[in-house]
Chains A and B, each alone.
Chain A
Amino acid sequence: MLEIKNLHANVNGKEILKGINLSVKAGEVHAIMGPNGSGKSTLSSVLVGNPAFEVTEGEVIFNGKNLLDLEPEDRSREGIFLSFQYPVEIPGVSMVNFMRAALNEHRKYKGLEPVSATDFLKLMREKRAIVELDNKLASRSVNEGFSGGEKKRNEIFQMAMLEPKLAILDETDSGLDIDALRIVANGVNQLRTPENAAIVITHYQRLLDYIKPDVVHVLYKGRIVKTAGPELALELEEKGYDWIKKEMGEE
């Protein structure tokens, strides 16, 4: 599904990603862990086409298409979804209008008619239930005045609405209390199918207790330095990252 080859990327002229190789197949969940500043969020930003990041080398193939050639909106319509670490507030644009515009753009891309008002509201209700998002929030402006937990739930709600093939969760667990974490993780699990995949970026094992990864990668200084099964996450939780740094010949 996703094939990342030797990906290099800069932000403000500084190289952050220094040759990432990663292969994700349908049905898989990959966890990416790593110390602060290792490039995890940069990787997710590059994949969704954030213009602040400049790709200098390498390629990303998503379902046969060269992802890096596509505009951010087309990447979304091809089925890539990023749950933002810091969801953006958009005063004055209601969740309902925002979601309807997004959904209809996705439908247009697939050659479908815009969704009817009744079907749309029904869909909203259905998907809202997945993350127990209050109806009141759905009628407010996008993320405006939402608590940290509500913002993250709102991200997963949008994911449920758009049904992406590849979901990238960028520290979706940060700022969540235990109950919110469970709700968000349950939401993600409900949306899992053999046809889609997820990349879960996190600092903590905690989230991976709920969302079971198939593969765990450690990203360090812009490279994936270790790849193993779920047990790697447990080991990191216990020992921290120092042993990996040591393995790499650092103090």
Chain B
Amino acid sequence: MKAEQQYIDLFTHYEDLICRHAASVMNAPRAKALADLERLGFPQVKSEDYKYTDVAQAFAPDYGVNINRLDIPVNPYDVFRCDVPNLSTSLYFVVNDTFYGKMLPKAYLPEGVYAGGMRTFMEKYPEVASRYYGKAAPTGKDGIIALNTMLAQDGFVVYVPEGVVVERPIQLVNIFRSDVDTMANRRILVIMEARSVAKLLVCDHSIDDVKFLATQVVEIFAGEGALFDYYDLEESSVSTTRFASVHVKQEAGSNVLVNGITLNNGLTRNNYYIELNGEQAEATLCGMSILDKEQQLDTYSHITHAVPHCTSNELFKNVLDDHAVGAFSGRILVKEDAQKTAAYQTNRNLCATREARMYSKPQLEIYADDVKCSHGMTTGQLDENALFYMQSRGIPRDEARMLLSVAFTSDVIDYVRLDALKDRLHKLVEKRFRGELARCAGCRICK
């Protein structure tokens, strides 16, 4: 039996239940998603884009799926205290794949701005919801996105109307909490209308040691002149598998930053699709990871320059220790008319052991003739001269290694446009390199 079959069966048996417990806007694309999944199947290891991630194996176990949307006995406010000093956020939770609507915190959102669950959003803004939901993440190209679209029942939405500036960052904490192996199908929908401004920080945590499997589809629409930051911080667990896809569509003059940081995980596949559809749009796509033991991270990015005068900057860095495996595939497509494109891509990796593996592949497809595009990739070890220089000042070799490793990743964190978060991330990275659990000190999850 093919790995996707159990999910197809699940859907065909329980379609009524799934639809009944879901926001109705999410039911519309299910039939097509099912057909696409049946046609595509899961991506196979022999396909170029999934060479380093065995999708069928990841989906093979029998995970529980909470179709009936039963309450999970957890109070996220009890188990999670985000400890980013000097950073006040409008804080929300998703437990497994259900928006946690109880005891919503005091919102610091300007009038007209929505942050919250898909269901309420759909009631308030049915027309906006159906105009955008599923429109950036096509189900016809990737079986995992089809599966997510077929099964997802809830989601988190940020909607910022034209010209509105949201000063305080919005924070979403995804919590995995279960006594049995569990699958979650998460959605995030971000709609930034023209000239709106907002920042969203999403943190992934896994509380229990059972196996977790997450599919996450994130859709971001940036209207003309919109300014949006998306920070994705994964601090899950070695028994968590995550397939995430971020889809960004940018209009003219918009500026979007996507920064994906993996501090703790099991197996992670992160896909990033960015489309620059309006002139003078600017995208910054960056990420870093610290991987050790048997941890795996497979990063795939696809940036499309569809029109002239757009800029994209891409920087990914990975530090791999023990038997960790990393992969990076960076595709940049510059369409025929997209003259005066500026697209820069960099991928740098440190392999701390002989066993750690990094596979890196830049792919530039350029059909315009007046562009500035560059790509660079290095995989290597720490600079011996720098290590010796530090030792000669009394710093032990291990400490010197740590300082250099922290330094190696620091420029990715410097892209963070929130000072408090930036400081906190620098500290978390240092703790992570010291082998201390890289989680917020105030979070009971790790105590």
Q: Chain A: residues with CB nearer than 8 A to chain B?
A: 48-51, 71-73, 75-77, 81-82, 84, 87-93, 97-98, 101-102, 105-106, 109, 141, 158, 162
Q: Chain B: residues with CB nearer than 8 A to chain A?
A: 383, 385-386, 388-397, 399, 403-404, 406-408, 410-411
Write out the residue numbers on chain A whose beta carbons fall within 8 Å of the beta carbon of B406: 92-93
27 A-B pairs in the complex with CB atoms less than 8 angstroms apart: A50-B388, A71-B397, A72-B391, A73-B391, A73-B394, A73-B396, A75-B392, A87-B389, A88-B383, A88-B386, A92-B406, A92-B408, A92-B410, A92-B411, A98-B390, A98-B393, A101-B390, A101-B399, A102-B390, A102-B395, A105-B396, A105-B399, A106-B394, A109-B394, A141-B407, A158-B393, A162-B394
Contact present for A77 and B389 (CB under 8 Å): no
Write out the residue numbers on chain B whose beta carbons fall within 8 Å of the beta carbon of A77: 394
Write out the residue numbers on chain B whose beta carbons fall within 8 Å of the beta carbon of A109: 394
CA A50 to CA B385, docked complex, whole Å: 9
Contact present for B403 and A97 (CB under 8 Å): yes
Write out the residue numbers on chain B whose beta carbons fall within 8 Å of the beta carbon of A88: 383, 385-386, 388-389
Q: Which of B388, B399, B411 lies in contact with A51, CB distance below 8 A?
A: B388
Max chain A Cβ within 10 angstroms of own Cβ: one of B389, B396, B408: B389
Contact present for A98 and B392 (CB under 8 Å): no
Contact present for B411 and A48 (CB under 8 Å): no
Distance from A151 Cβ to chain B, minimum over Cβ atoms (Å): 12
CA A72 to CA B386, docked complex, whole Å: 13
Given contacts A71-B397, A90-B407, A101-B403, 17 further A-B contacts (CB under 8 A): A49-B391, A50-B388, A72-B388, A73-B392, A73-B395, A76-B391, A76-B394, A88-B389, A90-B386, A90-B404, A91-B407, A92-B406, A93-B404, A98-B395, A101-B395, A105-B395, A158-B393
Write out the residue numbers on chain A whose beta carbons fall within 8 Å of the beta carbon of B411: 92
Contact present for A98 and B388 (CB under 8 Å): no
Max chain B Cβ within 10 angstroms of own Cβ: one of A87, A97, A101: A101
CA A87 to CA B393, docked complex, whole Å: 12
Write out the residue numbers on chain B whose beta carbons fall within 8 Å of the beta carbon of A102: 390, 393-395
Distance from A167 Cβ to chain B, minimum over Cβ atoms (Å): 12
Write out the residue numbers on chain B whose beta carbons fall within 8 Å of the beta carbon of A158: 393
- Evaluate whether A90 and B408 lie within 8 angstroms (CB atoms) in the complex, with A73-B396, A101-B399 already known: no
Q: Which of B391, B396, B397, B403 lies in contact with A93, CB distance below 8 A?
A: B403
CA A141 to CA B411, docked complex, whole Å: 12
- Evaluate whether A92 and B399 lie within 8 angstroms (CB atoms) in the complex, with A50-B388, A76-B392, A98-B390 already known: no
Residue on A nearest B402 in the bound complex, by CB: A101
CA A91 to CA B403, docked complex, whole Å: 11
CA A108 to CA B61, docked complex, whole Å: 51
Write out the residue numbers on chain A whose beta carbons fall within 8 Å of the beta carbon of B392: 48-49, 72-73, 75-76, 81-82, 84
Write out the residue numbers on chain B whose beta carbons fall within 8 Å of the beta carbon of A71: 391, 396-397
Residue on A nearest B411 in the bound complex, by CB: A92
CA A91 to CA B317, docked complex, whole Å: 15
Write out the residue numbers on chain B whose beta carbons fall within 8 Å of the beta carbon of A98: 390, 393, 395, 403
CA A75 to CA B397, docked complex, whole Å: 13
